[in-house]
Chains A and B, each alone.
Chain A
């Protein structure tokens, strides 16, 4: 990890997390996690309800206090303010999507580009090619969108930051299977075209493993299994508990 300017080379390590502890006040949730996201890669963090997936993403974004090392492209980001971490190129689609309900779709997208000083028009146009449904809703209040449209808006908002690392918290949550499939298809296109590095948290392991190249299995705040997504998919125990076949 000695890339100049922190510009992680493709295939190099973009996010390196070691011995991560975090929790809420007295409650300890994460007990020393080690994991990484490679530059241009998609890593998934799988786990049941309450395993600590959301907490892990919050820790990376500086939303809660942590100890341990969180290194983004060679630079430690642990202890930095959330807005400073966003300015370093970490876009986070949080639990519950974080939509600005009272604002329009357009304003949501503009806010996504807040850390960038240039004109966001071109990127907005690109979002409409990825998510055509958003184009018709451009001037509409975001709170009036359907759940699926809101998830698309949340991902588009995050992409507007031109993130070097995209954090996705359960993009499939609460959506009909057909919509989920649509969103993951779009994600596949985005990954292919933008080469965005992604850390995606999911309960729906089959979906996540289909787009990821690397996977970690989280149980009550500890990583119990890790490896290439193709291998995790084949694992007998994972299949039984998380893939359901």
Chain B
């Protein structure tokens, strides 16, 4: 029983990482109706930047903040330079661009930082298990960080003028322009924000899995499964889906398929959702009368 509870808790801790990346995916999806397959690689690249800054002697949290700024700029610039010109391009062209970006980030990271596994520091120290032996300090700390991120993002979209404008621009670009919202700028902001969220997820997962250029491949798959499970059209659903996938992965890995086959659980979830309920558990079906 204790073992199961332990799996649930540590599943929630990794689930927070998936939830963050799922949120980043959904934010871009809502605005553009595309899945940014490069989201994970962008996060991986950001994490290398963080490591470089830490190795250069910056205190952890300063490097953390600088990485967020870097990632935000990187996301916004990618949108502006690469994707804005392709706004009306066919879907396949965009898929090509996303896959291209994925490869470029992966290879560039390998080329600059090498493909060897690198330890990444945790700001929460080593120490023994906490919360009645259920969580390591890093698991507890990273869960708090991801929850903090998710809450702030929610509050930003819910309560600020800019957040409302970004939602409006995603839902209805034409009407948004008519009320004076610079839609292109909102898209760039959204990309920046998504990249920053991904960077946090990367920095939180790296101490657990070690940093290498392929670190985020599995995370992206789980996050995508989470986003689909919760509902790709519903940010809150995607976040819940991310947590669920974390728990399913841990329990499934411990008791059902074994750790070697854990990743296949993500594929099972993806296929099951697409077949049984494509809108996901919390996907919105808007009752609109026109």
Contacts and interface: CB of A to CB of B under 8 A. Distances in A.
Nearest to A167: B178
Interface in B169-189: 171-172, 174-183
Given A94-B174, A101-B171, A102-B171, A111 B286 contact: no
Contacts of A79: none
A110 interface: yes
B179 A141 contact: no
A107 B286 CA distance: 17
Given A141-B286, A143-B288, A144-B287, A87 B180 contact: yes
Given A100-B172, A114-B165, A143 B178 contact: no
B52 interface: no
Interface in A69-89: 81-83, 86-87
A231 B168 CA distance: 43
B167 interface: yes
Contact of A98 (B164, B178, B181, B287): B178
B155 to A, nearest CB: 15
B180 to A, nearest CB: 4
B235 to A, nearest CB: 12
A121 to B, nearest CB: 13
A99 interface: yes
B287 A99 contact: no
Contacts of A161: 179-180
Interface string A51-93: 0000000000101000000000000000001110011000110
Contacts of B176: 83, 111
Nearest to B175: A98
Given A111-B181, A144-B287, A161-B179, A63 B174 contact: yes
A187 interface: no
B177 A107 contact: no
B232 to A, nearest CB: 14
Contact of A92 (B165, B168, B171, B178): B178
A83 B182 contact: yes
B189 to A, nearest CB: 14
Interface string A153-166: 00001000100000
Contacts of A29: none
Interface string A133-169: 0000000010111110010000001000100000000
Contacts of A111: 164-165, 168, 176, 179, 181
Contacts of A196: none
Given A83-B183, A161-B179, A110 B161 contact: yes
15 contacts: A63-B174, A81-B177, A83-B180, A83-B181, A92-B178, A98-B178, A101-B171, A101-B288, A102-B286, A103-B164, A114-B181, A115-B179, A143-B287, A144-B287, A144-B288
Given A103-B164, A107-B168, A150-B290, 17 more contacts: A83-B177, A83-B180, A86-B178, A98-B172, A98-B175, A99-B175, A101-B171, A101-B288, A102-B167, A102-B171, A103-B171, A114-B179, A141-B286, A143-B286, A144-B287, A144-B288, A157-B179
The 10 closest A-B pairs by CB, nearest first: A86-B180, A143-B288, A98-B175, A115-B180, A82-B177, A92-B178, A87-B180, A114-B179, A83-B177, A83-B180
Interface of B: 161, 164-165, 167-168, 171-172, 174-183, 284, 286-290
